[in-house]
Amino acid sequence: MAGQIIGYTLLALAVLFISVTVARALAVKKPKIEDSEYVPHEIDKHAVAEKLSGAVRIKTVTLPDNDADGSVFYEYQRYIESVFPKVTENAEKILVNKYAVIYKIKGSDETLLPAAVLAHQDVVPADPEGWEADPFGGEIRDGYVYGRGSQDMKSQMIAALEGLEILLTEGKRPRRTILFCFGHDEELRGTYGAYEISKYLENSGVRLEYVIDEGGTVLDGKILGIDKKIALVGTCEKGYADYILKVKKDGGHASAPTRRTAVGMLAEAIYKVEKHKMRPHWTKPTKEMFAALAPHMNFPFKLALANRDILSPLLKPLLCLVSPFTNCLMRTTLAPTQAEGASTPNTLPGVAEGTVNARINTGESVQSVQAHIQKTVGKHVEISTLEGSIDPSPVSDTSSEAYAMLKKTIGEVFSGYIVAPYPFIAASDAKHYYNLTDNVYRFTPFEKSVEDANRIHGLNERQDIDMLAEGTRFFLRLYENTCL
């Protein structure tokens, strides 16, 4: 009898559990779609492509430091000013720390805080070997502009400028001041460019309504049980650190190896770092992301996310396995990238070193990740960091009017896209602007294939011309919604 009572009780609890979780999932409804009077502008995609082509032809490769000759950035700025005459005519140009630049288009209403549109002038190097086109030729063919920087990120700069150029040509003037802030060393973390611009603006007493930079992406929603495209807006970005693992042992000739060698111990340490991953956890941006996406998911996904608090012990490891992308959202990632031992193959090195690249999740720090690695590999391995380490950025406000307008703009220009905040897993100049506003957002308004996304920093980087036109429409509409 006692066994039956226990059985019935467990059955009742199971039925109750299922009923509650299903009810919570059914209560998650899609938000009402607001009516919009948006009428897309006609964009001359070939004209915009020509402007991007010319920009790519100027070799604005990131300088090793700010003392190097950066005259190419002045050449690039002269080019930008020549192909956007209306912007140039209405802008005050401010050079910051030699090569970074602000173009300030003053609004008619000084009570409105300015909007800042970011982009970086610099690009990574490109060895022509293996390219189908000259990496600095700006060749236009088959519906693409080819060349280094065509995606990262001269396309976004050109689209942002073209959007305002069109409005100014039509005789429209912004009520809100617009600041185009173009750094010159984003590929080296923006220390000389974006950081100095933000410091200049802060010292000038400037506060911003919002910042928009590269970063968010467009995904096929199928990996999360959604039948539409997802437009992700970065509301923060991960921290960054390169950790050096160093092992010291007696060196000598490889014909008489010691019981433990420096290289062997380093290899063991690297294996341990890969095996003992950092724990996944829910952060504010991941919670907000899945809350925004849950109403659009098919029922199994919706059931899981609507009951995230209950099913968390299962969900966290599952999301880490679904894809590399969802794994990056949930945890700090540790990726071994370099190893070095002896300079000759028959020598036992006295020192072996390896590098682990970390992208640090919100809620953790450079110091806490170093402590995790040290605990994992043991005290016999020395841990240090390379210059340039930075903690995760703050998380931007998703309840602000600025975010609402950004979301509205994406929904209008990219009809049918589902907009959601997310933690940007890479790095951008935007991290330097939190001293000026709580509304720092990252969105790249170009849908791209996985193949083209993998060309960034790689061979045959190219920008789809049709998407370049869509990106121009995005910025034009963003100005209409927030600045006119």
Catalytic residue selected from 139, 152, 165, 186: 186
Closest to 235 in 3D by CA, of 439, 435, 62, 76: 439
pLDDT of 1:
61
- For residues 328 and 426, the answer to whether their CB atoms sit within 8 Å is no
- For 376, the token pair is 């994992």
CA 47, 53, 56, 57 torsion-angle sign: negative
CATH topology of domain 45-215+426-482: Aminopeptidase (3.40.630)
Structure pTM? 0.91
Selected from 3.40.50.670, 3.30.70.360, 3.50.50.100, 3.40.50.1950, the CATH number assigned to the domain covering 222-385 reads 3.30.70.360
- Please indicate whether residue 274 is annotated as part of the active site: no
Quick check: bond before 153 cis, omega within 30?
yes
- Answer whether residue 114 shows pLDDT above 60: yes
* Region class of 138: left (phi > 0), else alpha (psi between -120 and 50), else beta: left
- Answer whether residue 148 shows pLDDT above 70: yes
**Percentage of residues in the chain having pLDDT higher than 90:** 75
Q: What is the pLDDT of residues 278-309, one digit of tens each?
A: 999 999 999 999 889 988 888 877 777 778 88
- Answer whether residue 326 shows pLDDT above 70: yes
Local confidence band at 310 (pLDDT 50, 70, 90 cut-offs): confident
- Please indicate whether residue 122 is annotated as part of the active site: yes
Domain ranges of the chain: 45-215+426-482, 222-385
- Residue pointed to by tokens 């509409």: 477
Could you check whether 45-215+426-482 and 222-385 share the same CATH topology?
no
Local confidence band at 274 (pLDDT 50, 70, 90 cut-offs): very high
